[in-house]
Amino acid sequence: MKKKLFAVLCATALTFGLLTGCGGSQPAATQAAAAAADTTAAAAETTAAAEAATSTQNTEGIQASPEFYAKADLASLSSKKIGVTIQSLQNSYWAGVMTALQEVVEKNGGQITIVACDDSSATQIGQIENFVSSKCDLIMIHPSDAAAVEDAAAQARDAGIKVMCWDDPMTNTDGNWVLNNTNLGIEIGEAAGEFIDAHYSADNKAQIAMINYPQTTILLEREEGIIQGLENKASGKYEIISSQAGLDANQAQTAMETILQRYPDCKIVTGIGAGAMIGADEAFQIQTAGKIPEEMGVFTADVTKQQLEHLTDETYPARIAVGFEGSDEDTGTACASMFALILGGQLESQNVFRGLMRISSDNAETVMAGMK
């Protein structure tokens, strides 16, 4: 399995920044919707939408912390058989994290098989059924469509197998490892808002380009959270001059180049994933010939090697990436800890909410040390 996964990693281009840890990999969006917005009206309207989204999310659960993960006995994974089905391995975030997870489980004597469903629910259901047939002790699902795999998850539990979901608060599981995507967006928006507050004013408003992907519910929640965070920290000091879809780095770069043709004074980008940072950085680097002004900045989610490299390179405007546990090793270890806690019946709540952390030039090198 390790050799097969390594081959996939070698074939994976690091420029394929995705969401991650963070949600669905959907077909690439080729149409970009540019929309100029009046700051006050847009902020009020989007903040209300974000509040509505928050009110419908399942927020019952416990918040993960280093102390929470420390309760796990990773040695208890010895001789356990674990099956993992995820949406895709064709991006740097998932490739790195899954490599780290495999290493942690195997180091502690467990067996793990990691497969990708390539965003097909039918394929994923078949993979779950195969894990049931092979008598896994635990199955982890990163669902292409959570509702579509609920019955398969229930059947696995009926067979005495523990089930964990990564990302969605599913019903037929023993534990869900989830994000509050609105809160993730708020953290991105507040990081950008603090930067704007320090470099702009009501008389000199920041022009913001939003690199989004509203076709996916959780990414729409992130976008709404971003605008709420901007309003929290920089009310009256910005205007969102364009919103364009860009899920991977190539799409985001194309979108940003289009925006800069129309709005050459735009210097701030907020985005929903790694691709937004990598692509916007490249567009800005071309525009400025690598001479990045101090008032230019890019703020997004996720943590990949390429993002970390940009955060420490002054020829790119990357400022803040809002990540989760930290490096690939940190996330892989935390996920393996979830396995141990679920297998040991130690979860106090079905939903475990992952923590957030800001990564900047100050701590990027430390995080880089644990990347795969």
Instruction: Summarize pLDDT for 291-345 with one digit per residue, the tens.
Output: 999 999 999 999 999 999 999 999 999 999 999 999 999 999 999 999 999 999 9
Q: Would you say residue 44 has pLDDT above 80?
A: no
Q: Would you say residue 50 has pLDDT above 60?
A: no
Q: What pLDDT is stored for residue 91 in this prediction?
A: 73
- Dist CA 322 CA 39 (whole Å): 24
Q: Would you say residue 18 has pLDDT above 80?
A: no
Q: What pLDDT is stored for residue 239 in this prediction?
A: 98
What pTM does this model have? 0.76
| CB neighbourhood size of 264 (10 A) | 10
Q: Would you say residue 72 has pLDDT above 80?
A: yes
Q: What pLDDT is stored for residue 59 in this prediction?
A: 60
Percent of the chain at pLDDT exceeding 90: 78
Q: Do domains 26-57+180-323 and 62-179+326-355 have the same CATH topology?
A: yes
CATH homologous superfamily of 26-57+180-323 equals: Response regulator (3.40.50.2300)
Any alpha helices (H) in the chain, and if so which ranges?
2-11, 39-56, 66-70, 92-107, 121-133, 150-158, 181-199, 217-234, 249-262, 274-288, 305-311, 328-343, 364-368
Q: Would you say residue 110 has pLDDT above 80?
A: yes
Q: What pLDDT is stored for residue 120 in this prediction?
A: 94
Q: Would you say residue 242 has pLDDT above 70?
A: yes
Q: Would you say residue 221 has pLDDT above 60?
A: yes
Residue 361 in tokens: 């030039």
CB 216 within 8 A of CB 24: yes
Chain segment 330-362, per-residue pLDDT in tens: 999 999 999 999 999 999 999 999 999 999 999
Longest dimension (CA), the chain: 65
Q: Would you say residue 270 has pLDDT above 60?
A: yes
Stated length of the chain: 372
Q: What pLDDT is stored for residue 224 in this prediction?
A: 97
Closest CA to 22 of 318, 317, 275, 305: 275
Confidence of residue 93 (pLDDT cuts 50, 70, 90): confident
Average pLDDT of the residues in 114-141: 97
Who wins on pLDDT, 43 or 90?
A: 90
Sequence ranges of the domains in the chain: 26-57+180-323, 62-179+326-355
Q: Would you say residue 12 has pLDDT above 70?
A: no
- The fold for domain 62-179+326-355 equals Rossmann fold (3.40.50)
